[in-house]
Structure 1
Amino acid sequence: MSSGWRRISITICLALIVLSILFVAFSAATNAPYTAQSVADEYNLPIGQSMFENQSILGQQDSISVPLISNVGFLQHQITALDIQGLLMTLTTGMVPFDFSTVSSEGIDSYGDVVNVEGPGFLTFEGDKLAVKSPNNYVWGYSTPYKWLVKTDTGVDVVENGTVVKSVPENEIKNLDYHNDYYNSSTIRSWYNYDAHNGSTFTLEKGMKGFSDGRNNISAADVPVIFGHDVVDYASEYPTGSPILLYSGNYTEEDGEAYGTSLGSHAEYGDSIREVNARQFVDAWNGTVIPPNSTSSGKDYVYFESAVDPTAPGGSAAHGVCPPARALRAAVTAEGFGLPVGMTWDEDAVLFGYNPAQDITVTNNHDYPVLIKMWTEGEGTGMGIYCQIVRYIPK
C-alpha cells in the first residue's frame, strides 16, 4: 500500500473514531423527540399503502434530512453502514439523513427502505412504531368499480374513481372502444338499450377495497402491479363486489367433500336445452375460490337458455340447472356450509327468480379459502355432473 493511501485510510479511521465519540457524548442529549406519528404526519407517509422489498416508504419523495446539530445520534446509521460519502456530505452540509430505525419496529431499514418483507407488504403502525408488515398467509379483498358507465337522459357518463371524465351522447355509444374478454361495444349497447334505466351503471374496470389486513384500497391500474394479472382476470369474471383471494402464502391443497349426479331426462322441457344449461352452470361455478368466512356467487356473463314451463313465473325457466345445483348443494353442505342462498332442499334445487350463476351464493365458514371444482363427463341425459371442494390449508 502506498504512503498516500495509508494516510487516507488512517484519516478515515480517525474520523470514524471521532464521530463515534461524538455520537456517544451527544446523542442522548441532542436527539429531537421524533415519533412514528409525527414523522408520518410531517412527511405525509402513505400509511396503508402496499409495498415491496427495497421500495422506499417515502414513495417518490426525496430522502429526509434533518439538522445534524440537533440529531447527532443519527450519525450512527451512517457509521454502521460505512457510508463514507454520506458522512462527508453530512459534515459538509450540516444535515444528516433521518434514521428511521428510531421510529420503526420491522420491515424498514434506517434509510427508510423496505427490508425482510416477502410478497406485497404494507406500511402501517405497530404500536407506537412504523412497520412494513409482510402479508398474512392469505390476503383478500372485494372488487369495486373504478371506471364505469352511468346511463343518463342523453347517453352515458364515463366515471373514473368517482369523477365524470367524459359524457357520451346516445348516438356515439356504438363508438365506445371499451372491451375485455367478457364484454365489448355490443354488450354495452345491449345493456344501454334493454337493461339499463337512468342511473344504471356498467363496470368497465375494477379496483380492490375492504382488504382483510386493513391496507388501503387500490385502483384498477395497481391491481396487476401488486397482485398480478391473474387477479385481474379472475375479478373480471365475477360480479362487482365479489370477494377476491389476492395473495396466498404457504398452503397445501386438501380434497374436501364431493358429490356426483347425472343430468337425467325431462323431455317435456327439451333435454338438449337442459344439457346446455347444465354445462353453463358448471362453467359458472368451476374455479370459484371463496376466501375465509366470505360469501361468493358464481361467474358473471354466463347465460342460460329458457325452456317453456307453464308452471314457472313468466311461463319459462332455465331447466337443466337443477342437477348441477344439487351437486353443488350436496358438496358445500357436507363441507359444513349452509344451504346456498337461492336454493331449496327440493329436487328442483334452484328457486325461481334467481340467476343460477350471479344470484346463488355460497358462504365459506372455514378459516381458510376453498376452491369449488365442477366438471362433467359424457353427454346427453346420462352426462355425469360432479362437484369437489378443495381446501387451502395453511402450512
Structure 2
Amino acid sequence: MSKKWRSTSVKIVLVLFVVCIMLFAFSFVSHTNYTGKSFAEAYNLPVGQSMFSGDSVMDDRNPVEVPLLSYPSFLAHQLFTLDLKGILTTLTTGAVPFDFSTISAEGIDSNGNVYGIEGPGYLRLEGDALAVKSPDTYVWGYSAPYKVLTKTENGVDVVENGTVIKSVPTEEIKNLPYSNDFYNATSIVNWYNYDSVVGSNFTLENGIVGFSDGRNNIDYKDIERIFGKNVSDYVDAYPSYSPIVLYMGNTTEVDGETFYTYLDSHPEYGDSVREFNARQFVEAWNNTIIPPNCTGNGHDYVSFGSAADASAPGGSAAHGVCPPARALRSAVLAEGFGMPVGMTGDENAVLYGYNPASDIKVTNDHNYPVKIVMWTEGEGTGMCILAKIVRYMPDDQLNSSNLTTGGRVGIGNGSG
C-alpha cells in the first residue's frame, strides 16, 4: 500500500470517527420545540406587562442561552448579522443565544427586544406566539387603592397591596411622611380624629386595575413611568375607582356646544356662600375626562359651604351648586347622554344627599373619550358659569359633520 493511500485512509478514518462522536453527542442532547406560550411559562416571562421599544421581554432576567447542538439554526442569526464575537463565543462555549424570532408574531426581534411600536404596548400571547403591539387609540383603566392607612384601636396600619408593612401608634400619626398636592399630615390627623372609625381606610396611593386592553394591573409608581406625570396627577385628584384615560393616540379635539347660565342673587341663602359653592363645583368638574362607554365623576378634595334652608334635610344645603349643575346637565344631555346620576331635570338640579363633586355620575355613551370643560366669567351674582363637552375623535373617523364645533347656548337662570 502506497504512502499516499495510507495517508488518505487515515484521514477518512479520522473523519468517520469525528462524525461518530458528533452523532453520539447529538443522541444525548435534548431539544425542546418551544412555542411562545411554553417559553413564557418555562422562563416566567412578564406576559401582560407594559413595554416600550427597546425593552427586553426578559425584563431584568439573564439572557437565555441554549446548547448549539440542540439549536444549530440559531447560529444563523449571528452569521447573518456578522456577530463575530458572538460566533466565537458560541463555538467555544457550545451555547447559543435563544432566537426569539422563532416564537414571536410581531414586535420582538431575535434578541428578545421590543421594536417598531409607538407608545406603551404590552407583552401578550397571540395564539402560541409572543407579540408586542402599539397600544390601541385609547387605553383606560380604573384607579384602585394600592397603599392605604387603616385605622386600628391603637393607631393605623400602613397597608400596601393588601399587606401590612408597618403599624404606627396614635401619637406618631402626625409624623407620617405621606403627602401629595391634595393631602398632607394634617389631613391624615383630621381624618383619624374626626372622620373615621376602626377599620376605615385613608388612601395614600392608587394603582390602576381593569385595563381596557387586558394588560396587567400596575401600582402607583408605575403610572408616571408608563403613562406620564399628567396622568399620575390626574389619578391623585380623583376618588378611588374612577375611570382614568391613560393613553390616547392620534385624535382631534372637537368642541360641543357651550351652555351658560348666571349665578343670580338669592340673598336668603347667602350669595357669598353660593358663589363659593358654584366655583367649587366648577373646580371639581373642569377637565374631567371620561373614557368610552364609562361613567365618571368630579374629583376629590373640594369642599362646599352650607347655607341654612328649612326645607332641606338636616336644615341646610350647599346652595350655589345648582347653577353650574344646570350648565353641566345641559351639555351632557345635548351630547345625547342620559341624565346624570344625582341630578334632576328641575331648577334645583342636584338631588339632596349627593356630593356635587364625587357622587354625581356622568355616563359617556360614545366610543371615544370626552372631556367636561367648565369655567366662569366675572364674579358676584352676575358671574357667568359655562360648560361644554370636548370629544376626542379618532383621526380616522373625522368628517365634515363631526368636525363642526358648537356655539354658545344660554339656559336661563333659576334658584339654587
Both structures adopt the same fold (TM-score exceeding 0.5):
yes
Tell me what 1:347 maps to.
347
**SS at the partner of 2:341?**
coil
Please give the residue correspondences for 1:116-195 in structure 2 after superposition, counting only pairs within 5 Å: 116-195=116-195
Structure 1 residue 63: deviation in Å? 0.9
Tell me what 2:283 maps to.
283
Q: Deviations over 1:94-121 (max 9, x none)?
A: 1111111111010100110001011111
Tell me what 1:253 maps to.
253
**SS at the partner of 2:220?**
coil
The Cα RMSD (Å) is 1.2
Identity between Structure 1 and Structure 2 (%):
65
Q: Distance in 2 between matches of 1:368 and 1:80?
A: 45
**SS at the partner of 1:91?**
helix
Please give the residue correspondences for 1:20-59 in structure 2 after superposition, counting only pairs within 5 Å: 32-59=32-59
Query: For residue 252 of structure 1, what is the amino acid of its counterpart?
Result: T
- The answer on 1:309 being equivalent to 2:313 is no
Q: Distance in 1 between matches of 2:81 and 2:344?
A: 67
Q: Distance in 2 between matches of 1:298 and 1:184?
A: 21
Tell me what 1:61 maps to.
61
Tell me what 1:105 maps to.
105
Structure 1 residue 31: deviation in Å? 6.6
TM-score between both structures, scaled by the size of structure 2: 0.87
Contact conserved, 1:300 with 1:357, CA < 8 A, in 2? Answer: yes
Q: Distance in 1 between matches of 2:173 and 2:290?
A: 36
Q: Deviations over 1:208-239 (max 9, x none)?
A: 11111110011111111111111111111100
**SS at the partner of 2:130?**
strand
Structure 1 residue 176: deviation in Å? 1.4
Tell me what 2:229 maps to.
229
Structure 1 residue 138: deviation in Å? 1.0
Structure 1 residue 32: deviation in Å? 3.9
Q: Distance in 1 between matches of 2:134 and 2:82?
A: 28
Please give the residue correspondences for 1:309-328 in structure 2 after superposition, counting only pairs within 5 Å: 309-328=309-328
Structure 1: gaps of 5 or more residues: 1-25
**SS at the partner of 1:69?**
coil
Q: Deviations over 1:319-341 (max 9, x none)?
A: 00000000000100110111101
Structure 2: gaps of 5 or more residues: 1-25, 396-416
Q: Deviations over 1:258-311 (max 9, x none)?
A: 211111121110111111100110011001011111111101010000000011
**SS at the partner of 1:221?**
helix
Tell me what 1:10 maps to.
none
Contact conserved, 1:155 with 1:167, CA < 8 A, in 2? Answer: yes
Question: Which runs of 4 or more aligned residues in structure 1 lie more than 3 Å from their structure 2 counterparts after TM superposition?
Answer: none
**SS at the partner of 2:46?**
coil
Q: Distance in 2 between matches of 1:167 and 1:32?
A: 50
Q: Distance in 2 between matches of 1:287 and 1:312?
A: 30
**SS at the partner of 1:53?**
coil
Contact conserved, 1:52 with 1:114, CA < 8 A, in 2? Answer: yes
Structure 1 residue 177: deviation in Å? 2.1
Q: Distance in 1 between matches of 2:69 and 2:171?
A: 68
Tell me what 2:296 maps to.
296
Q: Deviations over 1:159-204 (max 9, x none)?
A: 1111111111112211212111100111111111111111110011
Tell me what 1:273 maps to.
273
TM-score between both structures, scaled by the size of structure 1: 0.91
Tell me what 2:384 maps to.
384
Query: For residue 367 of structure 1, what is the amino acid of its counterpart?
Result: N
Q: Deviations over 1:50-106 (max 9, x none)?
A: 111111100111111111111111112212222111111111111111111111010
**SS at the partner of 1:213?**
coil
Q: Distance in 1 between matches of 2:38 and 2:362?
A: 45
Tell me what 1:23 maps to.
none
- The answer on 1:208 being equivalent to 2:203 is no
Q: Deviations over 1:242-273 (max 9, x none)?
A: 11111111110101232111111211101111
Tell me what 2:23 maps to.
none
Query: For residue 236 of structure 2, what is the amino acid of its counterpart?
Result: S
Structure 1 residue 382: deviation in Å? 1.4
Q: Distance in 2 between matches of 1:100 and 1:148?
A: 41
Contact conserved, 1:257 with 1:332, CA < 8 A, in 2? Answer: no
Q: Distance in 2 between matches of 1:243 and 1:78?
A: 47
Q: Distance in 2 between matches of 1:186 and 1:350?
A: 31
Q: Distance in 1 between matches of 2:130 and 2:108?
A: 8
Contact conserved, 1:32 with 1:71, CA < 8 A, in 2? Answer: no
Contact conserved, 1:149 with 1:156, CA < 8 A, in 2? Answer: yes
**Paired residue total:** 367
Answer with 1 or 2: which has the greater Rg. Answer: 2
Q: Distance in 1 between matches of 2:190 and 2:243?
A: 27
